[in-house]
Structure 1
Amino acid sequence: VYLYIPTHSPNQYPGAEAMVLTAIRGELVVIPVEWSWLTLSRVLFSRQEVMKWNGWGYSDSRFLFNKKGQAEFTGRRYRLSGMVLPSLKDWFESTFGASLQHKSPATATLNASAVPFPSLNEAFLQDLKSTGIPFSHEAEDRVFRAHGHCLHEIFALREGKFGRVPDLVVWPNCHEDVVKTVDLACRHNVCLIPYGGGTSVSSALECPPDETRCIVSLDTSQMSRILWIDEKNLTAHVEAGIVGQDLERLLNESGYCTGHEPDSMEFSSLGGWVATRASGMKKNVYGNIEDLVVHIKMVCPRGVVEKSCQGPRVSIGPDIHHFIMGSEGTLGVVTEVTIKIRPMPEYQKYGSVVFPNFEQGVACLREVAKQRCAPASIRLMDNAQFQFGHALKPQVSSIFTSFLDGLKKFYITKFKGFDPHHLCVATLLFEGDRERVLQHEKQVYDIAAKFGGLAAGEDNGQRGYMLTFVIAYLRDLGMDYYVIGESFETSVPWDRVLDLCRNVKERIVRECRERGVQFPPLATCRVTQTYDAGACVYFYFAFNYRGLADPVNIYGRVEHAAREEILANGGSLSHHHGGTFHSPVCVFMCVWGLVGVF
C-alpha cells in the first residue's frame, strides 16, 4: 500500500511524515479514516515515479545498446528482461541505414519551468476543495496527462517541448466523485478530459491549443475496484479506471478472467476499452469489448446515462451502449462497467506455423475463419515482420540449442525449399479444456498443412505472443538513433486483404521517397484478427529521419497517404485504436446536443 502526501499541501496532513518513517521501520501505522483516499492499492498518483514521462512503459524497462554494441532489454518485468539480443544491432543498422554513432537522445528530465503556467478557474478550485476530491496543479502531474502515445506527442516530449497542457489534475475515487466534478465543471465552464491509462493513439488526450477555459484532466486511476462478482450470471461490476493487468489479476484470484488482452493491457483501462471499442488478442474465444459489456454507467454534463436492465439483450430501439462505445471521451466519463467473465481456462497451449509465403498464409487464415475453428489467437506476420521478430531472439544458452536452431532452419529452407526472404509465420494460442484444445489444435494444423504450412513449435508461438508486450518499447530505442515509427490498423473484407497489404506497403515506400526520406523505410504488416467476413490488418512503418528538417510533419503526411490507400482498397480507418480523430466526418454530432459535451 502506498501513502501519497501532496507536496503542495503537506500541512493538510499533520503527522504524515512521522507515519511514513514509522512504516519504513516495519511498524504498524493507523491512517485516519478521513485520509482514506490517500491509500492506493497499485497505482501511484504520481505515475511518473514508475513510468516514463516521455516514452512507453515502465521507467526501468527499455531497449539499449550496451558498451559492447549489443542490444539488451533492461529491468525484470518481462521474459526478455536482462537478455542480450545479438542480432538486433545488425538488423537495426541494415534495415534503417542507422548508425550507433548518430544519436538523438531524449531530454532526460522534465523542466518544470518550461511547462506553461496553469490557467486556473478559482471558483471551480474553491468548490472542488470543499468536496475533498484530491487534485494537483504541479507541472509533472499535468504534463504526464497531457498526451497519449502518438508519434508527434512523444517526439515533442523528447525534445522538451510542451504545448497546451491540462491546468489541473483531479483524482476521483468513485462514481459519486465524478458526478460532483462534472457538475462543478458545468457550473464554472471548465473543460474536462477523461484520462484512463494514457495509452491513446488517436490524439484523444491532446489539449486544444486555442482552448482558453481551464482544462482539467480527470484521472480515473483511483477508481480501480471490482465492486462485485456475480457467480450465477458470470458477470463482474468494475470501476472503469482499473487497468487490464490488475483486472485480470484480481479476477484470477477468484478463479475467473475476462480474456480481454489488448496489446496495451498492462496500462490501458477498462473505461478506455469501452471508449475506443477495443479489441483483444484472444477475441476469437472471449469476444471484443462490445461482446463483453453488459452494462455501462457514464456521467454526462446533464446527468448519468445507464440502462435500467442488465439483461443479455433487449429490443426497444437503438442500444445506448453503441453510442457510448467508441465515443472516446467526447460524451461523458465512463465510471462503472459490468462485464462478462469466464472461469479460468483449464488448459493453454501455444503453437506456430511457417508458410512458404504470405499469400498461402492468408489463404490458411481465411479457411480457418470459414470453418469457424480459429484458436483464441491466430496472427500471421509477413516476411519483414518475421525478420524483425527473429532479430529479437535472445542469445542462446547452449551449443545444443544453437545446433537445434540451425537444424530447424536447414530443414525449412533447404529440405522443404522455403525462401527465407518470402516465408512468413503464424503464431497460435489455444485455450479451453484439454480435450477440446487438442482436437482444435489438430484441426488448425491440418488446415495449415493444406496450404503448405509446417508446424514450427510451441516456443516460437509463445515468444511471438509475449513479444507483443515489449514491441512498444522499441520505438523509444529507434528514436534514440534518428528512427521514428508508428503503427496503425484497419479491418478489411477477405477478398481485399492481399491487395490492401501490398498496396499500402508500396504506397509508404513511394511516399517516403517522394518526400525526401534518404533511407528506405520499414513497411510491414500482420493479419492479427480474423472474422467470418474479413480480417484486421496491423501495420508498422518506420524510417531514418536523419537529414530531414521536419520529420514529424513528413511522417504525418506519409501516414495520411497510407490511410488514403487503406480506404481506396476497401479498408476502414480503424479496427480498434479509435478513429473519430482520423475521420473527416464526426458521426456523433447528432447525439451531442442531447447530452452535452465538455
Structure 2
Amino acid sequence: MAGTATQPTSRTRSWWGWGWTDAHPDDAECVAMGALLPGTLARPLPVPRVADLRIGAPAVEPPAALAHVVRTDPGDRAAHAMGKAYRDVVRALRGRPGRVPDLVARPRDEREVADLLDWAAEREVAVVPYGGGSSVTGGVEYRGDAHRAVLSLDLTAMDRVLEVDELGRAARIQAGTLGPALEAQLRPHGLTLRHFPQSFEFSTLGGWLATRAGGHYATGPTHIDDFVQSLRVVTPAGVSESWRLPGSGAGPSPDRLFLGSEGALGVITEAWVRLQERPVHKASAAVDFADFHAALEAVRLIAQSGLMPANCRLLDAGEAALSGASHDGSAVLVLGFESAHSPVTSRLAQALDLARSQGGRADGTPGGGASVAGGGASPAGGGGAGGGSRAGAGSGTAGGSRARAGERNPDGTGDGAVDAWRSAFLRMPYLRDGLARMGAVAETFETAATWDRIPGLIEAVRTEVGAAARKATGHPATVNCRLTHVYPDGAAPYFTVLAAGRPGDEVALWDDLKAVANDVLHRHRATITHHHAVGRDHRPAYDLQRPAPFATALRAAKHALDPAGILNPGILID
C-alpha cells in the first residue's frame, strides 16, 4: 500500500543557518543576547547573502541524459556546501563556506542514482550524499582538491512511503523522506516510526540510517538501528539489498555495514523499518535536585529499574536555568512515559519514588504534557539531538502536528517546568545562530560513557573546556550539561558551551575548544559521538577509538564497493 508524499511547505529554509528564515532572531534580539556574554560584538554580523560569495561556474557540465535532475544555480549550490554546525554558520557569516559543490542533483529513482554514480566515477567527480543537510560534523561537505568537481546528491525527491505491512507493522520507505512527510504518510495507518531526533523537521530517513541517528526517547529503542528490517543501497559495485527478517544469525549483518557508513560505501535508497502503534497515554513530571550527583544516582536507578521512561532527561543547574525549567540553582530531571495501550501514571509514580529516594523534589500533580498523543510531537518534554543532526525545532511541529492548546492526555495535565524546557529546547538552535552573529561561541557536543565514568567525565569537561575558553577569550565561559539518553550501563551527556568569541577567528577558537573536549573524552574512554555521527570533524578522534583490525576491514570494504573513491571522500577513512 503506497503513500503519497506531502506537498512542500511555503516557508523558506535558511541556506546559512538553522531551520526557517522567518524564525531567526532579529538584530535587536541578537544584541540583547550578546549583552549577556561579555566580550561579544556591539552589533550583529549581517545576515549573509549568496550573492556576496562570488561562486564561480561549475567545473563540469552535468550529463545530458540527467540534466533534468541537476541544478547549477549559486543559491542551490551554496545551500548544499555545508551542514548546520556552529562552525558552518560562522563560515557562512564570514563569507568562507569552503568548497561549494559544482552540481546539485535530485534523482527521482534508483536508476538515476546509479547513473549519476557511474558518470561521476568516469569523470573523477566526488559525490556527497545529502539528505536534509542537518549534519553538525562536516558530513555533507567536501574538503580538499583531489577531485576535479563535486556533486551534491540530494535524495529528497525520493520521498514516499512505498508500502505498509500493517500485519507485521513495518513499512518500505524511500531514503529521501523527511521526518514530517514520513509520519504524515504513516498516520492514516495508525502507525508511527517513533523516531524523532531534534532535527526531525529537517532530516531524512536515509540521513538517520547513514549516521546511526538517535531519536529523543531516553530509553528503549531510540537509535535508528533498532528499527531497521532491511536496507537497499546503491554502490558503484552494484545494489545491495538485505532480506526483510525479524531477526537473523546468518553471519555478520549486511545492514550493519551500511548503518553509520555516512555515504562512504554506498547511497541508501530505501529501507524496511519497524513501526509501532501511535501512543495515546502520556504523562510527564519534573523533579528538582539540589545536588547534581544525587540526581545522577536517581537517573541510574530509574534506568536500571525496567520502567523504560520515554523521557529521562537530566538538566544541570546551568542548563535548567538557561531553559527556564528552574531559577533557584536546582538541577531538573524531566520524566515522561507513554503507551499505546494502557495508562502510564503508575510507572511515572514509581520513577518519582526513585527520584525522591535520592533527594528529588517532585511537587504537584504528574501531567500529560502539552503534546498530542500520537501526533508526531515530542513525548513528554521533547528530545535529544540525533541523526548526525543539529539541535532543532522538529519535534513540536512535526508534520503539521503542533500540540493543540487545551487538549488533555488521558493521564493528566501539563507540567510547567516540562513545558518551559520544551519551549526553550525548540527555540535554542535559532538562538545559537543569533549568538553567532554577535561573534560568540555557542555550540554543543555529546558523548556516552559507562556509569562509573560519568561523574568524572562531566566534571573534567566543565573544568577543562571552561578554563580553555577563559584563557582564549579573557572572559568567563559557561559549560552546561544534560543527559539526553540513559541506559542500564551508562548515559549520554550532552554539553553546551557559551563563550565570548574572537572576532574573525571564531572557527579556530571553537576548533581549539573542541580539541580540548575531545582529549577529555578520549582519556575517559567516552565515545566521540553518541548520535551526531563522525563526519570530517570527528575523524581524528574516531581513528583513535576504532580497533585497528576493523579499520583495515573498513578500508577493504571501501575499495571493493567504491573503487574510484568518489563517495564522500574523507568520511570514516582516507
TM-score, normalising length: structure 1:
0.79
Q: Is the 8 A contact 2:82 2:97 kept in 1?
A: no
- 1:118 maps to 58
Shift in Å, 1:594: 1.8
Query: How do 1:519-534 and structure 2 match up within 5 A?
Result: 519-534=475-490
**In structure 2, do the counterparts of structure 1 residues 427 and 381 end up closer, same or farther at CA, with 3 Å as the change threshold?**
same
Residues 211 and 165 (structure 1), Cα distance of their counterparts in 2 relative to 1, 3 Å cut = farther
Matches within 5 A, 1:393-408: none
Corresponding letter in the other structure for 2:117: V
Q: Which runs of 5+ in 2 are unaligned?
A: 365-414, 567-574
**2:320 alignment partner in structure 1:** 386
Establish whether residue 361 from structure 1 lines up as the match of residue 295 from structure 2: yes
1:197 Cα offset (Å): 0.4
Residue 196 of structure 2 corresponds to residue 196 of structure 1: no
Task: Find out whether 1:323 has 2:257 as its counterpart.
Answer: yes
Matching residue of 1:553: 508
Provide the C-alpha distance between the structure 2 equivalents of 1:456 and 1:53, rounded to a whole number of angstroms.
44
Task: Find the counterpart in structure 1 of residue 66 from structure 2.
Answer: 128
- Structure 1: gaps (5+ residues): 1-38, 73-87, 394-407, 410-419
Contact 2:5 2:160 survives alignment (8 Å): no
In structure 1, give the amino acid aligned to 2:518: R
Preserved contact between residue 107 and residue 160 of structure 1 (Cα < 8 Å): no
Retained in 2: the 8 A contact 1:382–1:524?
yes
Q: Does structure 1 residue 510 correspond to structure 2 residue 467? A: yes
Describe the superposition over 1:270-301 as per-residue Cα deviations: whole angstroms up to 9, x where unpaired. Answer: 10101111101115244310101111111111
Equivalent position to 2:456, from 499, 521, 524: 499
Distance 1:92-1:347 versus aligned 2 partners, 3 A rule: farther
143, 156, 168: which is aligned to 1:221? 156
Q: Which residue of 1 aligns with 2:435?
A: 478
* 2:205 is the counterpart of 1:239: no
Say whether the 8 Å CA contact 2:163–2:172 is kept in structure 1: yes
Larger Rg: 1
User: Displacement, 1:454?
Assistant: 1.6
Distance 1:352 1:317 in 2: 45
Check if 1:63 corresponds to 2:25: yes
Deviations 1:38-88 (A, max 9, x none): x984348xx9x711111110011123464xxxx59xxxxxxxxxxxxxxx9
Matches of residues 568-587 of structure 1 in structure 2 within 5 Å? 568-579=523-534, 581=536, 582-584=538-540, 585=543, 587=551
Q: Is the 8 A contact 1:116 1:165 kept in 2?
A: no
User: How big is the shift at 1:105?
Assistant: 1.7
Match of 1:437 in 2: 344
TM-superposition CA deviations, 1:151-186 (whole Å, max 9, x none): 222111112234211101111112222122222222
Three-state SS of the structure 2 residue aligned to 1:63 is coil
Counterpart of 1:425 in structure 2 is 332
Match of 1:277 among 196, 205, 212: 212
1:42 maps onto 2:4 in alignment: no
Tell me, what secondary structure is at the counterpart of 1:161? coil
Listed one character per residue, the Cα deviations across residues 309-342 of structure 1 (whole Å, up to 9, x for unaligned) are 2111111211111121111111111110111111
In the alignment, what sits opposite 2:91?
A: 156
Residue identity in the other structure for 2:18: W
Matched to 1:510, the amino acid is: A
User: How many corresponding residue pairs?
Assistant: 500
Q: Distance in 1 between matches of 2:560 and 2:422?
A: 43
Q: 1:575 to 1:456 in 2, by over 3 A?
A: farther
Identify if the C-alpha distance between structure 1 residues 567 and 222 changes in structure 2 by more than 3 Å, giving closer, same or farther.
Answer: same
Which residue in the other structure is 1:34 paired with? none
**Cα distance change on mapping 1:489 and 1:239 into 2, 3 Å:** same
Contact 1:385 1:524 (C-alpha < 8 Å) held by counterparts: yes
Name the TM-score, length of structure 2 as normaliser: 0.82
CA RMSD of aligned residues (A): 2.3
- Contact 1:164 1:208 (8 Å CA) reproduced: yes
Q: Give deviations 1:528-574, integer Å, cap 9, x for gaps.
A: 1011111111011121115x552321220111111110111221111
- Indicate the SS of the match to 1:468: helix
1:301 aligns with 2:301: no
User: 1:204 Cα shift?
Assistant: 1.2
After TM superposition, give the deviation of residue 503 of structure 1 in Å.
0.5
1:5-24 matches, cutoff 5 A? none
Contact preservation (8 Å) 1:573, 1:583: no
Letter of the 2:448 counterpart: S
Contact 1:40 1:222 in 2 (8 A): no
Letter of the structure 1 residue corresponding to residue 515 of structure 2: H
Equivalent of 2:520 in 565, 573, 595: 565
Partner of 2:444: 487
Q: What letter matches 1:249 in structure 2? A: A
Distance 2:434 2:115 in 1: 42
- The offset of 1:489, in angstroms, is 0.5
- Alpha-carbon separation, structure 2, partners of 1:304 and 1:280: 28
Cα gap change, 1:318 to 1:199, in 2 (>3 Å): same
Range 143-152 or range 283-292, more displaced:
283-292
Q: Choose between structure 1 and 2 for higher RCO, CA contacts under 8 A separated by at least 6 residues.
A: 2
Letter in 1 for 2:561: V
Cα distance in 2 for partners of 1:481, 1:304 equals 48
Residues of 2 paired with 1:248 and 1:283: CA distance? 20
Distance 1:93 1:470 in 2: 19
State the SS of the aligned residue for 2:201.
coil
Matched letter for residue 573 of structure 1: I
